[in-house]
Copies of this chain bind each other. A is one copy, B any other.
């Protein structure tokens, strides 16, 4: 990753380095007014160098968002592969993985769902988001087949599940899940309420 090279003029892989720096800053600073120049500065390069790799600031943002979706998908897949007994438990694990990801990368998570990362412009970003959503969809379909989830339209389950997880993630990183409002462990509590509506086992 961080090759401590002494490249005097040509960096070698500036594109990757810029992305790494930006991801690092997005994870570090809670909310960061993203500036290309700051990224360039911390990467140790002139403020115009990034334009050789990204047409404009938003193109870098979209690439960062794309990577975010890929990583989020990896986290969720990993959580689902822990050998948990029930599909319900797997859903719970995947949801908590998603929310955990958001809390560990609040800036990146916000970016992924912000208007700065316009998915109508960049097909690869759109695909990445769609693919990550597909993980959720696959879990729900599997749950319906094995009788865990109710046989309603899977799209309804998907919308509900996705919205719930995304909503909890957004509220969490906005520090709005205060104990006085929603209790001490709102995430599993809320997910359990939703799962009661999704599952057959009442």
For the complex, is A148 an interface residue (Cβ under 8 Å from B)? no
Q: Is A202 positioned at the interface, with any CB of B under 8 Å from its CB?
A: yes
Q: Are A175 and B119 in contact (CB under 8 A)?
A: yes
In chain A, positions 144-202 with a C-beta closer than 8 Å to chain B are: 150, 152-153, 155-160, 162-168, 170-171, 174-177, 181-183, 186-187, 189-198, 202
Q: Is A181 a contact partner of B194 (Cβ separation < 8 A)?
A: no
Listed A/B pairs (15) with beta-carbon separation below 8 Å: A30-B115, A155-B181, A155-B182, A155-B186, A155-B189, A156-B183, A156-B190, A156-B192, A160-B193, A162-B167, A163-B168, A163-B171, A166-B167, A195-B197, A197-B197
Q: Does A54 count as interface, using CB distance less than 8 angstroms?
A: no
Classify chain A: how many residues form its interface, as a range.
35 or more
- B155 A183 Cβ-Cβ under 8 A: yes
> Is A129 in contact with B176, judged by CB distance below 8 angstroms?
yes
Chief secondary structure at chain A's binding surface: helix
Q: Count copies of this chain in the complex.
A: 2
A118-146 contacts to B (CB < 8 Å): 119-120, 129-130, 133, 137
A binding-site residues for B, Cβ under 8 Å: 30-31, 110, 113-116, 119-120, 129-130, 133, 137, 150, 152-153, 155-160, 162-168, 170-171, 174-177, 181-183, 186-187, 189-198, 202
**A171→B169 CA distance, assembly (Å):** 12
Across-interface contacts of A187 in B (CB, < 8 A): 159
User: CB-CB < 8 A to A158: which residues of B?
Assistant: 181-182
Cα–Cα, bound, A139→B153 (Å): 28
